[in-house]
Structures are given as C-alpha cells and as structure tokens.
Amino acid sequence: MGTIRTMIVDDEPLARERIRGLLSRQPDVQVVGECSNGKQALQAMEEQHPDLLFLDVQMPEVDGFGLIEALEDGNGHANGSGKKKMPVVVFVTAYDQYALRAFEVHALDYLLKPFDDQRFHEALERARQQLQLALSGREESVVVHRRLLSLVQDMKNRTKPMERLVVRSSGRVFFLRTEEIDWIEAASNYVRLHVGQTSHLLRETMNGIESRLDPDKFLRIHRSTIVNVDRIKELQPWFHGDYAVILADSTRLTLSRSHREKLQKLFARAN
C-alpha cells in the first residue's frame, strides 16, 4: 500500500491541529486537506479524492453524517457526477451517547474527544487494514461500506427534526434550510423540493423525508404532497371531501380527505 491521502474535517482548529500533528509522524500518510465545515469538505474531497477521512460528527449547518450522505449521493445516484471511491472514515466526536451507541451497533471506528496517542494509533491502524482490504477487493471492505450507509440511515431517523438538507443539482451543491421549502412533491424515486421560483430533486422517499421534517411545520396533505404550513394562505372546499390548499404564492395543491384531520389538528394546536 502506498501513501495514504488523508483529509481532516473538524470545525475546531485545535482538534485539526492535534490530528495533523499525530499524522505528521506517520511516513505513509499525506494530509491533502483540512476543512472546518461540511461544505468545504465536499468540494475539497471531490478535488483531492482522499483515501482516509477523519471526520468530526458535530459541525454547524451540515454534520458529519450529512456529509457522508452527500458523498454517497455523489457516488451512486443520478444527481452525482459519477462513481467515486468512498474513503475510509474515522469519526471524531465529543461525548454523544446516541452517536456512540450507533457507532458500536454498526461496528464503525470513532475517536472520542479528548483521545490519547495510543487510541489514535489504534484507529489509524484499523484504517490501514480497511484500506488494504479495499485494495485487495475483499468482501470485508464492502461490508464496512454497508455499515457506514446503515449508520447514516440510522442517524437520519433520529427524533430531532432536521434543519438543513444537502442537495446536488447540475454539478453544484446546495445547503438548504428546511424552513425555506414551500412544498414537496413525489417524483418517481426522488422528491422535488419547491423553494420560491426554483426546485431541487433529492433522492429520497416521501415517507423518508416526512419522518425527518418537523411535524409542527410540515404536513403531509396528500400521498404525493408535503407542505410547509407557514406557506398556507387559504383552504377552499373541493369535491368529495377534498380541499384546495392555496399557498402564499398562489400555488394550488390538493388536501385529500384522508389527510384533512391532521391539518385540522395542527391548526387547532396553533390556536
């Protein structure tokens, strides 16, 4: 195995300095980049193609799990720019009981801040072993990748509603606040996010994105439609118990009879 191209992603300068210092003692490691947030990291990784990533979990705007999700979308989905190799990931985290339990369940390596030299070298040695498996095409490497994706899915299902989405469109990456979304519609294997006069495709199911949004702010009004309730201007009776939902920008959506009770309950709580 040759030089291990390594990237450090952490919003704390001292944490990056600590990892960089430990890696500087390793003759087979080359640090090809340091980033303080997910947006920087995504761009840098597409340019540098690191083999190994030391990734902070708790970062503002887009956390470590959101970055992995964005990378995977670029690796294998239609919005991405082609198939790329997912780096080996060592998560770095301050104490977070839920995250630590998730790492252990999915058998993925992590460094708990503050960590000592020995623990760091143990994580680095395991990363070397994973890289060797990947180079040899061993099935164990595929298993580790599946564990990583399973972890991201697990963290997506946390009870805390998401505040930001990572969206790829025409080779660009958008970090979109959920409160900016007017409404969402199903689009085959994707959902279409309507934001003002623009829209973005996201590879997600309606059930999946509904479970991640704040239920006090977003409501499923039809099997193929979710709406930001702050955008609703008017309800008009329609046919067979359905209603027309008129948004502030005059967009007209359908509230199906089967979802009407949820909207009534939401408005009742608001009053």
Domain total in the chain: 2
User: Which CATH number fits the domain that encloses residue 207?
Assistant: 2.40.50.1020
Residues 111 and 14 in one domain: yes
User: Which CATH number fits the domain that encloses residue 24?
Assistant: 3.40.50.2300
Indicate yes or no: pTM above 0.75.
Answer: no
Residue ending a domain, choose from 121, 156, 191: 156
Separation CA 30–CA 20 (nearest Å) = 10
Residues 142 and 172 in one domain: no
Instruction: Catalogue the E-assigned strands of 156-213.
Output: 164-169, 172-177, 183-187, 190-195, 198-202
Distances (CA, A) of 142 to 88, 96, 134, 191, 229: 11, 27, 8, 28, 42
With a CB cutoff of 8 Å and minimum separation 6, the contacts of 204 are: 190, 191
Separation CA 97–CA 191 (nearest Å) = 32
Tens-place pLDDT, residues 153-189: 777 666 567 788 888 777 777 788 999 999 999 998 8
The number of C-alpha atoms within 13 Å of 3 and in the hemisphere containing its C-beta is: 11
Residue ending a domain, choose from 111, 127, 156: 156
With a CB cutoff of 8 Å and minimum separation 6, the contacts of 226 are: 183, 184, 185, 206, 209, 210, 213, 218, 219, 220
Tens-place pLDDT, residues 204-241: 888 878 877 888 889 999 989 999 999 999 888 877 76
Residues 98 and 177 in one domain: no
- What residue numbers bound the domain in which 12 lies? 4-156
Residues 73 and 151 in one domain: yes
Residue ending a domain, choose from 125, 156, 187: 156
- Strand order across the beta sheet in which 243-247 lies: 232-237, 243-247, 252-255
Residues 185 and 266 in one domain: yes
Residues 18 and 45 in one domain: yes
Residues 96 and 174 in one domain: no
Mean pLDDT, the chain, integer? 83
